Chains A and B, each alone.
Chain A
Amino acid sequence: AQTVTQSQPEMSVQEAETVTLSCTYDTSENNYYLFWYKQPPSRQMILVIRQEAYKQQNATENRFSVNFQKAAKSFSLKISDSQLGDTAMYFCAFMKQEKGNQFYFGTGTSLTVIP
């Protein structure tokens, strides 16, 4: 079975600073995908960034980047130049393709950006 662990239930960061959210996972699969999803307060969840396990290069999307360490089964999210709109719950997710796409989510990290 796959498990995803987010060990930081809550975090805060000053506006314009950088913050890193941690995520580890456990799997015996070799091919899989990893995601970070963002859920703003009272709004729907949206995709932040995606990483294919077979790619060694870390994914980057504007101010968001990941540090993917496959051997260590670690997948952290770095947010640079934090903005007030980054305040949200962030979920790390693992996906494998077996009879469709099977997703496993972590418990989330609540991030607050302080003005």
Chain B
Amino acid sequence: KAGVTQTPRYLIKTRGQQVTLSCSPISGHRSVSWYQQTPGQGLQFLFEYFSETQRNKGNFPGRFSGRQFSNSRSEMNVSTLELGDSALYLCASSFAQSNTGELFFGEGSRLTVL
């Protein structure tokens, strides 16, 4: 069974640009969540999608947005990039009907904003 796939793995952008990151969950998983990981801050929750609907949202500005498609694949978008957006962005999927709550993570997309 293929794991969670995130693309691209690495990318460099400049301030003011926008970026789109993609996440393909494990087959059968309908919940996809996104996290921002920075040194010293740990993982900060961005948002969670289930069946194309955003169920939960973290405390991030509106520049951060996402969506989920009918095949459960998800994208997140960051507009008007700032230097502080440099981070590892992790996607995680789960079989939401299960109450075990285990998250399956991708390897992440490392974004550098210059």
Contact = CB atoms under 8 A, between A and B. Distances in A.
Of B35, B50, B100, B106, which is in contact with the most chain A CB atoms at under 10 Å from its CB?
A: B100
A91 B106 CA distance: 16
B107 A44 contact: yes
Interface stretch (B14-22, B37-45, B62-70, B73-81): B37-45
Interface in B67-114: 90, 92, 94, 96, 99-103, 105-108
A105 B105 contact: no
Interface in A34-82: 35, 37, 43-47, 50
Contacts of B42: 6, 91, 105-108
**Consensus secondary structure, chain A interface:** strand
Contacts, number: 61
A33 B101 contact: yes
A52 to B, nearest CB: 9
Interface residues of A, number: 24
Given A50-B100, A101-B96, A91 B56 contact: no
Contact of A104 (B4, B41, B45, B99): B45
B33 interface: yes
A106 B103 CA distance: 15
Contacts of A104: 45
A33 B48 CA distance: 18
A99 B92 CA distance: 17
B3 interface: yes
Interface string A79-113: 00000000000010001010111111111100000
Nearest to B98: A101
Nearest to A96: B101
Contacts of B48: 100-102
Contact of A105 (B3, B43, B55, B101): B43
A77 B26 CA distance: 28
